[in-house]
Amino acid sequence: MQLNFAMEENLEKIIAELNELIERDDIKTIVMLVEDRHPVEISEIIDHLVEERKRYLFQLLDAKMAADVLQEVSDLTRDQLLEEIEASRLAKIVDEMASDDAADIIGELPSPLAEEVLGLINDEQAQALRQLLRYDEESAGGIMTKVFVSVPEDATVQEAIDQIRATVNQAESIYSLYVTDRRGVLVGGLSLAQLVLSKPQEKISQIMNADVVSVPTDMDQEQVATLVEKYDLASVPVVDRAGRLVGRITVDDVVDVIVEEASEDISKMAGTTDEEIRQDSALRIAGLRLPWIVISLLGGILSGTIISRFRLTLGSLLALAFFIPVITAMGGNIGIQSSTIVVRGLATGEIGLLHIARRILREVRIGLLMGLMCGGIVGLVAFVWQGNPLLGVIVGSAMLSAITVAATMGVLVPLFFRKINIDPAMATGPFVTMTNDIVGLFIYFGLAVMLLKLLG
């Protein structure tokens, strides 16, 4: 099918229709309306209903469709759908999922409900899920699936094909198969394309690729994503400490990780968390944003005390106050520009921890360049506007210094955070803005006092 990209417009119509049908409780027509749609479309529709109608429509889906929809809806909707679900219904839905997706859902349930659901599904699947639930949610073990095809080294191509036949109806797509020795240790891999081109009686050990990239269960999901991205893998096998094959991560899960990590970084840089997107309550969102807001409130008050220490100077040259916002704004912007580039470069691996001195020096040069320019402009404006050359010198040189310091801090702070293993994304946004405000004001008024004494 060609996808219908005018969907955003149609969506409103479908939702209006559905809302009407739900009001009339016309289940038959509703089922007809959603029956042949792709799970992605139904998820989008559900995302746009009010909370109780989300549950109403979800209840009408069969278990297979409900399983697909539950993975596609927004986080907020998923929480709402799971809030009042019965264990028996959820067990049926979970039974239709790949093990990694099922573990994600069960991992988010309150533990009595999780136990009840695990008790209701078949033992083999329940055991696999319990195993997966033991891994950290953000590790390779936490995002891997138990659905994979593995064959012993001495198997033939025909035996491998039979193995695929036994596995393939189980959800996620198979692109390659893995080869293990007698102890279950991963010794090779084979793409399906290679398999297709081989004769049924050929030995797997002769056609396999012994150089297969694998990851340990405890590797951080972000590292897994970087690896898959770098090596252009479609899936990657997961091994335990003894090298035994225990799972497989597919690239679609890696794509989710990449999107999630980017959102996380962006939110952190803005001084909030991406949890926000799944929150509906203004009070809770305010709570999430609060920590940085309180810190920058204190920073702002600290800035105020700096100005107050210079109140005599300010009283004697009131025009100094006019340039407070431009000094703080420029320092903040320049600091955020350079820290953002460093934070993002560190996240994507484009900036390593080598050649750091060169990078810092370059940033100092950029700061000087921009400082000279901006300082020149604003100094000239101050001079012409207020007819006071001394004010021009103070404002211009303060701007030059503040910008240079801001650019340098913008590169130093995230590198330093990375070095001491704090997420560098925390180093930009409110933190950089706040420190640059304080430092900038100190430079500004400090220079004002000095130059007024010297030249005034």
Closest CA to 99 of 134, 151, 57, 65: 134
Strands (E), 241-340: 245-250
Q: How far is the CB of 62 from a copy of itself (least distance, A)?
A: 18
Tell me the closest approach of the beta carbon of residue 174 to a copy of itself, in angstroms.
5
Query: CB of residue 232 vs a copy of itself: minimum separation in angstroms?
Result: 4
Please give the backbone phi and psi of residue 245, each rounded to the nearest 5 degrees, phi first.
-70, 125
Nearest to 152 by CA among 171, 170, 179: 179
> Residue 82 or 269: which CB sits closer to a copy of itself?
269
Nearer to a copy of itself, 114 or 237 (CB): 237
Contact indicator for 382, 395 with CB cutoff of 8 Å: yes
Coil, helix or strand at residue 180? strand
What tokens were used for 187? 């010794």
Helix or strand (DSSP H, E) at 343: helix 324-348
Task: Give least dist CB 141 to a copy of itself, A.
Answer: 16
Strand order in the sheet with 150-152: 150-152, 176-180, 186-191
Question: Least distance to a copy of itself from the beta carbon of 117, Å?
Answer: 24
Its sign, for the CA torsion 404, 407, 413, 415, is negative
Nearest distance from C-beta of residue 55 to a copy of itself, angstroms: 18
Instruction: CB nearer to a copy of itself: give 126 or 417.
Output: 417
Which residue's CB is nearer to a copy of itself, number 8 or number 124? 8
196 or 454, CB closer to a copy of itself? 196
Which CB atom, from 61 or from 254, has the smaller least distance to a copy of itself? 254
Q: What DSSP character marks residue 145? A: B
CB of 418 to a copy of itself, least distance (A): 12
Query: Which two three-digit tokens encode residue 30?
Result: 């509703």
Closer residue to a copy of itself (CB): 78 or 146: 78
- Rounded to 5°, angle at Cα 270 from 265 and 273: 60
